[in-house]
Structure 1
Amino acid sequence: MQNLFMANWKMHKTVKEALSFLEKFIPSVKEVNDREVGIAPAFVCLESVGRVLKNTNIKLGAQNAFYEMHGAFTGEISPVMLKELSVHYVIIGHSERRKYFSETDEIINKKIKACLNAGLNVILCIGETLDERQSNKTFDVLKSQLTFGLEGIDNPEAIVIAYEPVWAIGTGIVASEAQIREAHEFIRKKLTELYSDEANFVRILYGGSVTPDNIYSIMNIPEVNGVLVGGASLDPVKFSKIIKYEEKNRREKNL
């Protein structure tokens, strides 16, 4: 099971800017074959980015999808449309979708099922707010988001979980190693309760102000199987350093 390094560009980069990024980024990771790399650009960039990524080792991702395959749903994008564009991963349940677009666990569950039915892989984002953590509700929130988000999903092999504490997203605040460890261990335990031995094949990513400076310590935490990267993934050099995080550590040891 390879670690996954996934870029979430959110509402950044025009098509021109995305292609400029790839021109610099692709050569820097062309020799990377022991881990999985993905990029989720804005919808308007999917076709152009997908064409460039077609003959590379980088997977194409989308940041959202609707739960119907077709119909009168103005402004929405269906899973089958994404599949036709060779999208591999779809990010579902990001905290910004929950906050700004009022996505509930029920809606998220429907979206996951629709994506799986279309043959897509899903990155389910879960995580607590600062108020929930300070109220000692972190595990209750994670349990609820996992249980309801994965309700009725019998086979988890196409699911990736991304633990993103809301208070660490885009804030520059990184959860401590102890906080990340206990959250990932809890998620693994709950997945095992839901799926038994099959849970061992579900990767659990960490997301929240990941940078080249903290990636090494994050990746050395047990049960961390990769990262979902926001701001730092907008810079081809920074994202490349995150993916090849061992190189920086080796250089420092040789000094």
Structure 2
Amino acid sequence: MTAPVPLIAGNWKMNGLRASLVEAAAIAEGAAGSPARVAICPPAVLIHQMSEMLAGSGVLVGGQDVHWEDAGAFTGDVSAQMLADVGAKLVILGHSERRSGHRETDEIVARKVAAALRAGLEPIVCVGETLEERNAGQASPVVTDQVRGSLPAALTGQPFSVAYEPVWAIGSGLTPSTAEIEEMHQAIRATLAERFGPAAQAVPILYGGSVKPSNAAEILHAAQVGGALVGGASLKAADFLAIVRALQA
């Protein structure tokens, strides 16, 4: 069975102007030679310029969302083909900020995943429970149901990753214990195996939710953790590179 290649992806969210591209350049320089795949997912307006600037560096550029249709009368939306056309290689889908703020269901996320695949983009599919769901003992059922509902059969044989992001940890400074992270990643791995068979062993399962230089090594060395989806700490090259290097700590 093929072991997952680690992926460290930075989600810039709605942050960054053209002046921020200097941080991306510094990340590319500092990440050279890393055993991990490294990616930056900036706002859509920066993807073209960033992808051209980082061409040949080994750092991948991705988007943060797509519409499930390839084209049409969807004012303000961006299609997967548009992202691919300006240089994106990956796309984050189903982030909790989309699921809660934009009422995205598992079905909508699955349709977006299918659209990303049609455009040749590699999906990073996010799942995670709220604090209320965890306190009610429902964390594992909630997350594994999201995995089943958000990953279409079209992913079979395609490169993708799953990012476990407990909603209550995102941007809060809180993180689950190592044991809690390992338990959830094991449950996700079992669900992937149930759905995709032996090929699921090659799928990286990322952890996201207040990942920072101070806790990155412990998280990245936990069982079944195949990388990280990093939020605020990915905006500064020094912090993001410290997380990338923690993989080898």
TM-score (norm 2): 0.95
CA distance in 1, matches of 2:24, 2:162: 26
Q: 1:242 to 1:76 in 2, by over 3 A?
A: same
* Kept in 2: contact 1:157–1:202 (CA 8 A): no
Aligned to 1:31: 33
Structure 2: which 5+ runs fail to align? none
Aligned to 1:66: 67
Higher relative contact order structure (alpha carbons within 8 Å, sequence separation ≥ 6): 2
Residues 73-94 of structure 1, C-alpha deviation per residue, up to 9 Å, x if partnerless? Answer: 1011011111112211100000
CA distance in 1, matches of 2:24, 2:134: 38
Aligned to 2:93: 92
CA distance in 1, matches of 2:135, 2:209: 17
Letter of the 2:56 counterpart = N
Superposition pairs of residues 123-162 of structure 1, within 5 angstroms:
123-153=124-154, 155-162=156-163
Letter of the 1:75 counterpart = G
CA distance in 1, matches of 2:222, 2:24: 30
Q: 1:246 to 1:193 in 2, by over 3 A?
A: closer
Aligned to 1:111: 112
- Give the superposition deviation at 1:156: 4.9
CA distance in 2, matches of 1:23, 1:113: 31
Percent identity between the aligned chains?
A: 38
- Give the superposition deviation at 1:237: 0.2
Aligned to 2:177: 176
Aligned to 2:12: 9
Between structure 1 and structure 2, the one with the greater Rg is 1
CA RMSD, 1 decimal: 1.2
The number of equivalent residue pairs is 246
- 4+ runs of 1 displaced by more than 6 Å? none
1:204 is the counterpart of 2:215: no
CA distance in 2, matches of 1:29, 1:184: 26
CA distance in 1, matches of 2:125, 2:60: 17
* Kept in 2: contact 1:164–1:206 (CA 8 A): yes
CA distance in 1, matches of 2:148, 2:241: 34
TM-score (norm 1): 0.93
The more displaced of 144-153 and 203-212 is 144-153
CA distance in 2, matches of 1:126, 1:22: 26
Aligned to 1:230: 231
Letter of the 1:223 counterpart = Q
Aligned to 2:55: 54
CA distance in 2, matches of 1:129, 1:52: 38
* Kept in 2: contact 1:210–1:232 (CA 8 A): yes
